[in-house]
Structure 1
């Protein structure tokens, strides 16, 4: 009597069965890779978000404002840099556009564009998780249906419809459905958890953008810097 299981399913399976099994394994590897990489990325950004606005306000010179926020490519660095570039551009072209382009609106547009770009980058990979979570059960179901189909054909050819010869192959075919669920459940849970963290980071970016907008628009030095200048 054969010992039914995953090893037997792979050894006795046809190319379709092996393709479905390999596809599920690949989907699982991809989903876990995305979950781990995005978790590390979001954890780093959340740690950075806590001190970004304080560092920006504590810097005494415009160049220090951006340099204090880390390396280029991080959302808070790009946001502050976009605000300073927008301010410099507006001041450089003020003679031509005075009265036609409001400085506050110009800064808001630039900061919103930076937040939108950062939000798009944060969402990368999450769509793949959602796709895997929604399609993996159906891929597993395809493997199950295919396995039951071939099991029933084999039973019809042998003419032996006893419980021993029916339960084993049919039960083994259900392994594919279980594999599909094992792939889908972590992908769905990971997607919702990461999407929630992504929304929190975007909200922090929006709050930071308002702070950058106020500081660049007023042009006043932060309180610590003003105090230092008064003492000098």
Structure 2
């Protein structure tokens, strides 16, 4: 019984942590809460854009791989377009190309008709690339500005620490630990939001570049097919990959008479 009585006051006198994350926000007040809220919105938006754009890019890349098995083996572009998804980027290029072909027939100059057809496909391709790039400016903005937002919270925390030092007249650890801890937390949050945003931006941008190159090649093949009346098709349809063209055998030399 005496041992319990001795341990009870010691347990009650145990120091409590007053420098946690929640305590730092309470000490920082409105500025700390506002900074954390802004950084939280930026972080949520970055991961949302990363997930949605990744799904969109993966769908376009998968549809592009299926073109060889469905689209180009159709007898005409219209038949091939009917096998593509209505809302796909590849279907948009084909439909815009066919529509431009109809309009080009109304032009009297063949050169102008070809330029109109080429420009229409380029415009369709540019609209798809612009749609793929939607959301990436937000990631770039978050990666560039979130460290400075965290730095703002850091400056406010250090300012509060200096005020406490001036009021107390001494730089004791109990006066400056809270504001300095708050400042370090804001710095860490700013970096924690910025780094994933920058990585996501670079990753999505590289995938958009690969998709753009594939779209350009597909647009060129569609243009050649329309301009040739269906005679010109991609090279992988006209020649088997990995098999060199047969070389004509040289005629045997006539035997010489002795």
Give 2:165's match in structure 1, choosing from 155, 158, 175.
Answer: 155
Give 2:123's match in structure 1, choosing from 99, 113, 120.
Answer: 113
Residue 54 of structure 1: how far off its partner (Å): 4.8
TM-score when scaled to structure 1? 0.87
Matched, 1:60 2:75: yes
Structure 1 distance, partners of 2:152, 2:66, is 50
Which stretch shows the higher mean deviation, 112-121 or 101-110?
101-110
Residue 29 of structure 1: how far off its partner (Å): 0.5
Q: How is 1:72-91 mapped onto 2 (pairs within 5 angstroms)?
A: 72=87, 74-91=88-105
Any idea what SS the aligned residue of 1:57 has? coil
Matched, 1:99 2:109: yes
Contact conserved, 1:66 with 1:80, CA < 8 A, in 2? Answer: yes
Which stretch shows the higher mean deviation, 190-199 or 42-51?
42-51
Q: Which runs of 4+ in 1 moved over 3 A?
A: 100-103
Contact conserved, 1:147 with 1:173, CA < 8 A, in 2? Answer: yes
Contact conserved, 1:59 with 1:65, CA < 8 A, in 2? Answer: yes
Matched, 1:141 2:151: yes
Measured against aligned partners, the alpha-carbon deviations of 1:131-183 in whole angstroms (never above 9, x if no partner) come to 00000000000001011111221232123422343344313321101000000
Query: 1:22 maps to which residue?
Result: 37
**Larger radius of gyration between Structure 1 and Structure 2:** 2
The number of equivalent residue pairs is 218
Matched, 1:131 2:141: yes
User: Larger relative contact order (C-alpha < 8 A, sep ≥ 6)?
Assistant: 1
Once superposed, what is the RMSD of the aligned Cα atoms?
1.9
Measured against aligned partners, the alpha-carbon deviations of 1:91-140 in whole angstroms (never above 9, x if no partner) come to 2x1xxx32264433222111111111111111100011000000000000
Higher helix share: 1
Query: 1:169 maps to which residue?
Result: 179
Structure 1 distance, partners of 2:180, 2:27, is 14
Matched, 1:200 2:210: yes
Give 1:4's match in structure 2, choosing from 13, 19, 27.
Answer: 19
TM-score when scaled to structure 2? 0.79
Where structure 2 has 5 or more consecutive residues not aligned to the other structure, the ranges are 1-15, 234-258
Structure 2 distance, partners of 1:48, 1:100, is 33
Structure 2 distance, partners of 1:52, 1:145, is 56
Residue 2 of structure 1: how far off its partner (Å): 4.5
Structure 1 distance, partners of 2:54, 2:18, is 40
Measured against aligned partners, the alpha-carbon deviations of 1:168-205 in whole angstroms (never above 9, x if no partner) come to 43133211010000000000000001001001101100
Any idea what SS the aligned residue of 2:71 has? helix
Q: How is 1:43-54 mapped onto 2 (pairs within 5 angstroms)?
A: 43-52=58-67, 54=69
Residue 68 of structure 1: how far off its partner (Å): 1.7
